[in-house]
Amino acid sequence: MKLPNQLEPLRKELEATVKSYLKIKPSFSHDLTLWESKFGGYPYFPKTLDYPKNPQGQPLVLLAQINFSDTLLLEGFPKEGILQFYIDSHHDLYGFDDEDMTNQAHFRVLYFDKIEFDESKLITDFSFLPNIDDLETFLPFIGSFSLIFEQKHEPISGCDYRLENLIEEFADESREGLDFCDLADEYLEFYDGEEHKLGGYPFFTQDDPRMDLDEDTEPYELLFQMRSDDEADIMWGDAGVGNFFIQPSALKKLDFSRVIYYYDCC
């Protein structure tokens, strides 16, 4: 890992934080099957289940769908099945609840462990969905995108709430008179984690909301991140980002009922 000279004293501590993740590259596409990985578009959804809706009975819209058969293997994540993220296009914060980030009233995270390829058993008529061209709908993008996955490794991001303690402890113990604020600013400039990704460390335009969670709570780790992306014409408010977090024990059980969803922008 190449570090700026000012951060070299922190090399050992930073290298200990390195973890693998999948970088996601979206490409605009209309030619997508119901079950493949995508941003936007029509979801894979069996007819036997109730389609996700908001409290007013309006259907939610697919934000992202990950078919783990399409991806490279990622430690701790499923090896098969489909994971979906839905948001409320009628909600002015893209379905984010700033009072209870786990409240899935206006967003939903669903997982299908087995995939049905018989289209006669799947919803194929999505005329009930809101018109994405309607000025009263709030979505970070219009259209659909195919996804390419690349396995990568990254150290803790400059936005992760745990970086502060790591740098503070090192600066306090250092005999070199290192300044905490200078190190923190230097690191944020060095690496902020701003990518579309599965796993890894998050990017924020504001503060990490996990810093306010009870210290006795099992830490939440990044599940999925979609950032604003000029190249793909994806925009969360004012150049913001959408993040989903999960506790490792819940991910192991494939329990997505207490996922944290957070949206912020500049």
Q: What's the pLDDT score for residue 263? A: 97
Which residues, other chains included, contact 8 with Cβ-Cβ below 8 Å and sequence gap of 6+? none
pLDDT tens sequence for the chain (266 residues): 888 888 888 899 999 999 999 999 999 998 899 999 999 999 999 999 999 999 999 999 999 999 999 899 999 999 999 999 999 999 999 999 999 999 999 999 999 999 999 999 999 999 999 887 665 788 999 999 999 999 999 999 999 999 998 888 777 666 565 677 788 888 999 999 999 999 999 999 999 999 999 989 999 999 999 999 999 999 999 999 999 999 999 999 999 999 999 999 98
The reported pTM is 0.95
Residue 262's nearest CA partner among 233, 232, 230, 240 is 240
Domains (ranges, CATH) in the chain?
A: 5-264 (2.30.320.10)
> HSE of 72 in the Cβ direction (CA atoms, 13 Å)?
13
Phi, psi of 91 (to 5 degrees): -105, 130
pLDDT of residue 177: 59
Partner residues linked to 152 by β-bridges: 21
Question: 3-state SS string over 75-110?
Answer: CCCCCCCEEEEEECCCCCCCCCCCCCCCCCCCEEEE
Residue 242: closest CA among 84, 20, 87: 87
Task: Let me know: does 163 contact 156? Beta carbons within 8 Å.
Answer: yes
Residue 233: per-residue pLDDT: 95
Q: Are 17 and 156 in contact (CB under 8 A)?
A: yes
User: Given this model, what pLDDT does residue 6 score?
Assistant: 82
In sequence order, what are the beta bridge partners of 234? 229
- Measuring CA to CA, which residue among 118, 94, 116 is closest to residue 106? 94
